[in-house]
Amino acid sequence: MTDGSEGRYAGLFRLDGRRVAVVGGAGGIGREAARALAAHGAEVLVVDRDAEGAAETARLADAERGGGAVPYALDVLDEDAVRAAASEWGPLDGLVVTVGVNVRKRIADYSLEEFDRVVALNLRAHFSLVRAVAPGMAERGGGSVVSFASMRAFQVEPGQGVYAASKAGLVQLLRTAAAEWGPRGVRFNAVAPGVVRTPLTDQIAADPDWYDAYAQASALKRWARADEIAGAVVYLLSDASTFVTGSVLTVDGGWTAVDGRYDPSV
């Protein structure tokens, strides 16, 4: 017995005909997200301050899709440049923002300059990009915005105070955006990775004890690869998630589930 809708799910994750900007696409999670989106048919704008890295990502994305990826140099902390870029990009169906930075210091050791740097890139830049892109999506009746938070938005440790605060703030910003633009069809969601081996985690990887402690803290007992986060981005940009907004998709290997603590012999 069928309902007459055979094949309705075959293209659920396809992104053919959709234009997506991946901001922070020159490397790490952004690069793998761009490649995955292209592989599912999206036309990808690879946006980054690192023009050379963005061009390399565009080349890799082209190999996945057979062309269509375009690199775009942008400093996301330049408000005027962000507005101009959004105008140049034209209509977007999706926006992915992966930019972020961490300065691992205890609160008493933080300088105001370091505080401003972390908050500027982890929160203000996302705010600027949302303001530049979301109104156009709303005018066209829909779109999907995905920003990268972190499990540190919910679970902290010494030395993560400002980073954690910025990521928690980003989650609430996206939830508010979901409420404000939801009636006009624009969705906003966060991806919250656990520990992922990218340049952002070089400081940890350089310390074998620290690196291993993080590996052992998750249910899977290892770090993530950047490509293991890309599927979450594809899902949130695709029709598989049309009723998902204001949410946080945690991709942390079970770290927050098992709490990263001692395993008693009970």
| Structure tokens, 102 | 């961490």
Name the residue type at position 105.
Answer: K
Q: Which of 9, 72, 110, 163 is catalytic?
A: 163
The C-alpha angle with vertex 35 and arms to 82 and 119, in degrees rounded to 5, equals 40
- The tokens describing 98, both together, are 């992966």
Both tokens of 191, joined, read 């991806």
235 given a catalytic annotation:
no
Q: Residue 247: which of 158, 180, 149, 156 has the closest Cα?
A: 149
Structure tokens at 127: 């705010």
Do 233 and 96 contact (CB within 8 A), yes or no?
yes
Rounded CA-CA distance 249/81 in Å is: 30
Element (H, E) at 44: strand 43-48
Q: Which residues are catalytic?
A: 163
